[in-house]
Amino acid sequence: MKTTAIIPRGRKARPSGGIERNRPLTILVVDDEACIREVLASALKRSGYETDSADDGLEAWEMLRATSFSLLITDNNMPRMSGVELIGKIRAARMDLPVILATSNPPGNLESLRLAGILRKPFSLESLRRTVDDALHYRTPAGASPSLKLLARQLMAHETGSVTVPPTADTAAFGVFEKLRGPFARLTGAGGYHALLSRAQALAIVEVRWLDTLRINGDGSLASLETLRAERDARALTEGEVVLLAQLLGLLDTLIGPALMQRLLRDIWPGLDELDY
């Protein structure tokens, strides 16, 4: 079967401040370590982006007030003004600017920061490229909505009662993810499902912090669930899986639209007559 890549609706981000379309997107990199700023700027330029830099949050804030940027990548622990403080000022000023926080120790108030992504130090340049591309070119839900969580629970409940649950499935959610993987990988192209699931995990971590221990294999399958089962009680594990699955469904809805998503879900689960979505 020939693989066809679907281009998301609104794939191209609209740069804040009205940057011309034929001009490369400009990213502001903020870190108090000059070597890190230089490495990130070099990698981003190789990916076709323009960059500017600041050595702390206060300098970055002055630059943001004077110049339009398409994306902010900021460290957290910096002198004079931290990354979290900088993001707080951006949100208070209602600047339409996606923000990626690069830190080894994410703060506890992630949801209020409304981040476009998180880079956990140390991170690879491939992770940097993927996270930046996702933040600039995909419009994604900030949180798992109640309707998406309801749909996630419905799919998991249906999988629990299915006689076709894969023998390797550790949980009902694992069965759902496994059944979604093939059909959506064919839609999104090679690596597309892995990228979507990785993005869903980054969004889900805002609500369920321990989901950062979940590992995603190169083919898009889930790992570490057995370990999580040993560490979490059944209810906590289920709630985490609901959030992760809801985030993935939200991304799929953004990518292909609700009508096509519902049709595909009914093809995957033909016995599921009504979808609460």
User: Is there a single domain that holds both residue 264 and residue 225?
Assistant: yes
Does residue 29 contact residue 52 with C-beta atoms inside 8 Å? yes
What was the pLDDT predicted at 226?
67
What was the pLDDT predicted at 4?
34
Q: What's the CA gap between 152 and 249, in Å, rounded?
A: 8
Tens-digit pLDDT profile for residues 165-178: 444 445 778 888 88
Q: Is residue 183 part of a domain?
A: yes
Query: Of 114, 137, 160, which residue constitutes the final position of a domain?
Result: 137
What was the pLDDT predicted at 15?
36
Residues of the chain with pLDDT under 70: 1-23, 108-112, 138-144, 161-170, 190, 225-226, 229, 273, 275-277
DSSP-derived letter for residue 8 is P
Identify the CA nearest to 211 among candidates 249, 173, 181: 173
Range of the domain at 180: 146-268
Q: Is residue 20 part of a domain?
A: no
Can you give 227-263 as a three-state secondary structure string?
Answer: HHHHHCCHHHHHHHHHHHHHHHHHHHHHHHCHHHHHH
Does residue 110 contact residue 22 with C-beta atoms inside 8 Å? no
Q: What's the CA gap between 161 and 68, in Å, rounded?
A: 53
- For 262, other C-beta atoms within 10 Å of its C-beta total 14
Tens-digit pLDDT profile for residues 38-76: 999 999 999 899 999 999 999 999 999 999 999 999 999
